[in-house]
Structure 1
Amino acid sequence: MKIRQILNNNVALVERGKIDVIVVSKGISFRKKVGDTLELDEVEKVFVPDSNDVLENYSYLLSHAQQGTLDATLKVIEYAEKNIEEKVNDYLYLTLLDHIDFALKRAMKDQFIISPLAWEVRKFYPKHYEIGKCALEIITNETGVEFPESEAVAIALHFINLQESQVDIKDAIKVMETVSDILTIIRIHFQMQFDEGSMNYNRLVTHLQYFAQRITLGEIYNSEDTELNKQVRIMYPKAYICVNKIRVYLLNRFQKELTQDEETYLMLHIHRVTQRNESEE
């Protein structure tokens, strides 16, 4: 494999046959230069993007990741694969890396979130929840940042998503319609088109899918975190106005009131997906 571009100390863009791939190799910037050959046994991980857009997303995310964040991600994946006895795809590596990076940024602001799915994950996916808890220990060991146990749920969801869910077709249609309607509300409110290849968009859609499933099944999550909710409302007023429109939609369609925790989660996701400047995060 020939090195085309060194993205940071540990990540490079290389030619493998007729395609470009991204490789993780510790200290590559100190050992190699552009044009040098890289052997497979020198590489920790190879990412094979399936389009130029995906290649750009992967390159940006990997080149901007701190070494501790990247090491934590690789170790969490390794641990998870052994426990669920299933290989994960490249996209999960990147979404988990992005998640951990964002969680570390939130931790610096003392923003910790209780997932609306905490009860469901602990009850129905205990193995995945244990993976999430172990992941928090790994992240702390690699970065020195400690997280409350509640953060384990969001990590567990990355691996739960590997499993195909069995959903009644009528409920599945209702969920898809609800997700589509909420996305339309967000798009019209902000007068924007979504970048459907972005991490933020896919993270928002994943959250909305789980959210819509619970709404259609009549389930309510009601563990209010008033202080964090107030803080996020102040920080992201545009997202808060948008969420109030979603609140009206849910009330009209399902006769369900949006809880504070769901409101907080939606505001965070909407803020991220509508920010065009990465430095604003």
Structure 2
Amino acid sequence: MDVLRVFNNNLVLARDESGVEVILTGRGLGFQAKPGDLVVRERIVRVFRAEDGRDPDHLAGLLAGIPPEHVQLVVDALAEIGLDRVAAKPALVVAMADHVGSALDRAAEGQVVVYPLLGEVTNLYPEEYAQATALLDAVNARVPVPLPREEAVALALHLVNAGFATGDLSASYTMTGLIQQLLDVVAGAHGVVLEPGSVSVGRFVTHLRYLVVRISQRRQLDDRRHSEVGEAVRRSYPEAWETAARLARLVELRQQVTLTPDEVSYLAMHVARIVQDAGVTGEDAPPV
């Protein structure tokens, strides 16, 4: 591998054998190195590859701006709980290491941050919250002043972001509030209690998460050939369709975008399924 740019003694941007730019970390990896030099492979500790068209040079610069001990702390803790694939995402490592560094400073001063959406995060993202709790334990085993349990909420949202290649927690806060509001509308409209642990609710939450991502990427489902299926859903599940239309209006208000008919159709199918699974008789729910 050839060195493209040296950021500091421990981090360089390089080009691998396949011609892809990669971010390399390792003690002394960049010491006295110059663009065009061969990378000293024995010094490489970790290889980061940019995803989703992100600029490797920009990510390397962000990573170089984080104290290396915080980066190593996060990477080691993620690896310990089996999240090596997450630890390989440079954008997530930057965001999480920066957050953990600030949290360590607060802990040293005896400050505790109470994060909003604790109930929503634990209900909507049970897998990520469980991982975040384990991650917090792994971090605390490595630091002199442990972080408070409240930090699991923020760590969980970072893990949610890992699936969408973004380091901006504000987007996850917005998404979480929107999803909870949509679930509340479904429960209220059909007079049911939605169990967070149920398969149908879990699938619906996953669908909503990716709906928000599709909206942000301007890639909504929009297949003209699906229109007949949409009409069939409208005829077969009129109550679910009406609820889905309400959900679509809420999304429009919160996200400033109009959902395509296909997106509304899929919302209706999910609504029909979770209402049926919650014990309401009447419409037979479609498979989703």
Please give the range of the TM-score, normalised by the shorter of the 2 chains: 0.5 to 0.7
SS at match of 2:23: strand
SS at match of 2:82: helix
CA distance in 1, matches of 2:51, 2:128: 28
SS at match of 2:134: helix
Structure 1 ranges of 4+ moved more than 6 A: none
Q: Highest Rg: 1 or 2?
A: 2
* Alpha-carbon offset, residue 59 of structure 1: 1.9
CA distance in 2, matches of 1:56, 1:155: 26
Per-residue CA deviations over 1:161-218 (Å, capped at 9, x if unaligned) read: 5679xxxxxxxxxxxxxxxxxxxxxxxxxxxxxxxx984xx32112111122223334
In structure 2, give the amino acid aligned to 1:203.
L
Shift in CA distance, 139/149, structure 1 to aligned 2, threshold 3 Å: same
* Alpha-carbon offset, residue 29 of structure 1: 3.8
* Alpha-carbon offset, residue 38 of structure 1: 2.0
SS at match of 2:33: coil
* Alpha-carbon offset, residue 124 of structure 1: 6.3
* Alpha-carbon offset, residue 19 of structure 1: 3.5
Residues 25, 42 of structure 1: 8 Å contact kept: yes
CA distance in 1, matches of 2:141, 2:9: 21
In structure 1, give the amino acid aligned to 2:148.
P
Give the structure, 1 or 2, with the largest relative contact order (CA under 8 Å, sep 6 or more): 1
Shift in CA distance, 141/7, structure 1 to aligned 2, threshold 3 Å: farther
Are residues 1:215 and 2:213 paired? no
Partner residue in 1 for 2:85: 87
Provide the alpha-carbon RMSD of the alignment: 3.7
Which runs of 5 or more structure 2 residues have no equivalent in the other structure?
A: 186-249, 255-288
SS at match of 1:217: helix
* Alpha-carbon offset, residue 122 of structure 1: 4.2
TM-score by length of 2: 0.51
Partner residue in 2 for 1:8: 8
Shift in CA distance, 105/128, structure 1 to aligned 2, threshold 3 Å: same
Shift in CA distance, 49/145, structure 1 to aligned 2, threshold 3 Å: same
Residues 115, 150 of structure 2: 8 Å contact kept: yes
In structure 2, give the amino acid aligned to 1:87.
R
In structure 2, give the amino acid aligned to 1:77.
L
Are residues 1:64 and 2:65 paired? yes
Aligned positions of 1:3-42 closer than 5 A: 3-17=3-17, 18-30=19-31, 33-34=33-34, 35-38=36-39, 40=41, 42=43
CA distance in 2, matches of 1:140, 1:7: 29
Per-residue CA deviations over 1:91-126 (Å, capped at 9, x if unaligned) read: 433332333234345546655322333234445655
Residues 132, 159 of structure 2: 8 Å contact kept: no
Residues 68, 143 of structure 1: 8 Å contact kept: no
Which runs of 5 or more structure 1 residues have no equivalent in the other structure?
A: 165-196, 220-249, 255-281
Partner residue in 1 for 2:151: 151
Q: How many residues align?
A: 184
SS at match of 1:149: coil
With 128-137 and 58-67 compared, the bigger mean Cα shift is at 128-137
Q: Which has the higher helix share?
A: 1
Per-residue CA deviations over 1:6-34 (Å, capped at 9, x if unaligned) read: 2123211112243332111123244x522
Partner residue in 1 for 2:78: 77
